[in-house]
């Protein structure tokens, strides 16, 4: 008996998924992903990269039904997904999936919410589509393997395109066969280069993936075809874009595991691979270190950091997010690593840049990619050490345990844009009852400063 191809397997699972299949933990985590994704996206509404994409979309003159987050503007679903996906990744403050090796919410949520607004989709259907998309992209990312990322591809852009397509196909209620076709179409769209990290092109990867996912699902609905070997074929996505693919990951059933429950949220506004170093530096600072007395600081990190977050002399706040030396110096010196800390002025500050120059990095194969050890020596000859592991969720028995911290992050990001009352209303609605999630219309009404004109 011939084994089914990955597109067919995933197509059946996406088309067959129901809200009732999602347990409480899955629903809570999905709501938290929506909360965090909207939070970082709304906060980035004024970012130059987002403004540029938004101006191009609005100049095209297409009137639509989907909200551009943080504004009163509307656009067609695919254009809104492009803008909102770019916004959700612009601050590099969005969530991470270790299994995927990328950012799972930012390609899928913008596509799902924009299309759901157009379709008038209810809350349970929207959450089901979001989970279907995230479970799909994480499996594709795992199948591409770490070799894909090391080769120079941005998994958020590549696997994320298939996740967005899966979510869109679920919202359009495509059959399993048509969903498989949509995934094949998405596979030929998948692209994104790590060489773009530190530039506006990195967040564009998420926006482009979201928009391409909607296009792929709509083409499949219109009768477009694609190759069924799109993922595992001789010249399919896995073999073309990875030196060591792991195709078995495509065939793990939804729920075995639920990858959405393993999503990691950022509490520092920088590349996630800097987070263990930041946490270790903060621990050293809490031990009583005087930052002004630092002589040298050594960071022991995984080789996976090289080429990702090792910009040695960042020139902009955006580049600072991808400089583990700057991020560690910032944590040691100020104890603050929120969005306001990663600025152009910050990276050029003489005190911070001077401390950054005294930070050295050493790679070790013995460390996991989310682990780090920081050793600081002060001018008095004392040594301070700490280590951290940022590779596990910040909850043990229930994901509700991390809701308060996510709510505080959301309020800090959204209140300055929408005002505290609207930010509070959006937060409370999302976290109120995982069994009664808000509809697309409810979310759209709360993601802008007022009623859309």
CA distances from 322 to 145, 259, 338 (A): 22, 26, 14
More confident residue, 451 or 415: 415
Report the chain's C-alpha Rg in angstroms: 21
Q: Please give the order of strands across the beta sheet that includes 294-301.
A: 359-363, 294-301, 371-378, 383-389
pLDDT classification of 3: cutoffs 50, 70, 90: low
The answer to whether the CB of 60 falls within 8 A of the CB of 76 is no
d(CA 209, CA 64): 20
Q: Which of 145, 144, 185 is nearest to 164 (CA)?
A: 185
Domains of the chain in sequence order: 6-265+396-446 (1.10.4100.10), 272-389 (3.30.1330.120)
DSSP lists the bridge partners of residue 386 as 374
The answer to whether the CB of 107 falls within 8 A of the CB of 211 is no
pLDDT in tens, 261-306: 999 999 999 999 999 999 999 999 999 999 999 999 999 999 888 7
pLDDT, average across residues 234-254: 96
d(CA 71, CA 64): 14
CA distances from 157 to 58, 137, 184 (A): 23, 10, 15
d(CA 34, CA 163): 15
pLDDT, average across residues 357-369: 91
d(CA 117, CA 120): 5
- CA 141, 159, 148: angle at the middle one, nearest 5? 55
CA distances from 37 to 84, 214, 270, 406 (A): 10, 18, 15, 11
DSSP lists the bridge partners of residue 276 as none
- CA 363, 369, 373: angle at the middle one, nearest 5? 55
The answer to whether the CB of 110 falls within 8 A of the CB of 41 is yes
pLDDT in tens, 46-89: 999 999 999 999 998 778 999 999 999 999 999 999 999 999 99
Q: pLDDT at residue 247 above 70? A: yes
Q: What percentage of the chain has pLDDT greater than the value 90? A: 89
d(CA 223, CA 153): 30
Which two structure tokens, joined as six digits, stand for 269?
A: 């506004």
More confident residue, 309 or 163: 163
Residue 100 burial (CB count, 10 A): 27
Residue 316 burial (CB count, 10 A): 16
Q: pLDDT at residue 33 above 90? A: yes
Which two structure tokens, joined as six digits, stand for 105?
A: 């919410």
The answer to whether the CB of 20 falls within 8 A of the CB of 255 is no
pLDDT in tens, 181-235: 999 999 999 999 999 998 999 999 999 999 999 999 999 999 999 998 999 999 9
Q: What percentage of the chain has pLDDT greater than the value 70? A: 98
Single pTM value for the model: 0.92
Q: pLDDT at residue 1 above 80? A: no
SS in 3 state form for the chain? CCCCCHHHHHHHHHHHCCHHHCCHHHHHHHHHHHHHHHHHHHHCCCCHHHHHHHHHHHHCCCCCCEECCCCCCEECHHHHHHHHHHHHHHCCCCCEECCCCECCHHHHHHHHHHHHHHHCCCHHHHHHHHHHHHHHHHHHHHHHHHHHHHHCECHHHHHHHHHHHHHHHHHCCCCHHHHHHHHHHHHHHCCCEHHHCCCCHHHHHHHHHHHHHHHHHHHHHCCCCCCCCCCCCCCCHHHHHCCCCCHHHHHCCCCCCCHHHHCECCCCCCCHHHHHHHHHHHHHHHCCCCHHHEEEEEEEECHHHCCCCECCCCCCHHHHCCEHHHHHHHHHHHCCCCHHHCCHHHHHCHHHHHHHHCEEEEECCCCCCCEEEEEEEECCCCEEEEEEECCCCCCCCCHHHHHHHHHHHHHHHHHHHHCHHHHHHHHHHHHHCCCCCCCHHHHHHHCCCCCCC
Q: Provide the residue count of the chain.
A: 453
Question: What is the pLDDT, as a whole number, of residue 450?
Answer: 59
């Amino acid at each position: 008996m011939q084994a089914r191809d990955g597109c067919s397997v995933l197509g059946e699972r996406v088309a067959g998924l129901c809200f009732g299949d999602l347990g409480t933990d899955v629903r809570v985590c999905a709501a938290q992903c929506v909360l965090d994704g909207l939070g970082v996206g709304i906060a980035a509404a004024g970012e130059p990269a987002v403004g540029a994409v938004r101006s191009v979309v609005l100049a095209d003159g297409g009137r639509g039904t989907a909200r551009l987050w943080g504004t009163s503007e509307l656009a067609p679903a695919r254009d809104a997904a492009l803008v909102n996906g770019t916004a959700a990744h612009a601050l590099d403050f969005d969530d991470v999936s270790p299994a995927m090796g990328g950012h799972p919410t930012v390609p899928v949520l913008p596509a799902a919410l924009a299309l759901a607004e157009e379709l008038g989709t209810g809350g349970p259907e929207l959450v089901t589509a979001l989970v279907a998309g995230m479970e799909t992209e994480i499996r594709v990312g795992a199948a591409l393997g770490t070799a894909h990322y090391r080769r120079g591809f941005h998994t958020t852009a590549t696997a994320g395109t298939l996740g967005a397509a899966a979510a869109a196909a679920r919202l359009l209620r495509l059959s399993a066969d048509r969903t498989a076709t949509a995934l094949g179409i998405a596979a030929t769209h998948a692209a994104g280069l790590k060489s773009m990290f530190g530039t506006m092109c990195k967040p564009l990867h998420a926006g482009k993936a979201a928009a391409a996912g909607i296009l792929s699902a709509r083409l499949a609905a219109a009768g477009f075809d694609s190759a069924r070997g799109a993922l595992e074929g001789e010249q399919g996505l896995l073999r073309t874009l990875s030196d060591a693919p792991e195709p078995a990951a495509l065939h793990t059933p939804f729920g075995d595991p639920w990858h959405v429950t393993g999503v990691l949220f950022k509490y520092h506004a920088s590349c996630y691979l800097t987070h263990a170093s930041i946490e270790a530096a903060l621990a050293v600072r809490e031990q009583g270190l005087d930052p002004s007395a630092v002589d040298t600081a050594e960071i022991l990190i995984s080789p996976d950091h090289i080429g990702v977050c090792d910009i040695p002399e960042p020139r902009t706040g955006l580049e600072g997010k991808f400089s583990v030396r700057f991020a560690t110096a910032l944590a040691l010196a100020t104890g603050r690593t929120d969005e306001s800390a990663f600025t152009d002025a910050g990276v050029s500050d003489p005190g911070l840049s001077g401390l950054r120059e005294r930070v050295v990095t050493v790679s070790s194969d013995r460390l996991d990619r989310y682990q780090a050890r920081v050793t600081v020596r002060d001018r008095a000859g004392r040594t301070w050490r700490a280590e951290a592991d940022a590779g596990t969720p910040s909850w043990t028995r229930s994901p509700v345990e991390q809701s308060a911290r996510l709510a505080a992050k959301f309020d800090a990001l959204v209140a300055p844009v929408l005002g505290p009352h609207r930010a509070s209303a959006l937060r409370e609605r999302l976290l109120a009852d995982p069994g009664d999630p808000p509809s697309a219309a409810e979310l759209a009404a709360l993601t802008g400063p007022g009623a859309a004109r």
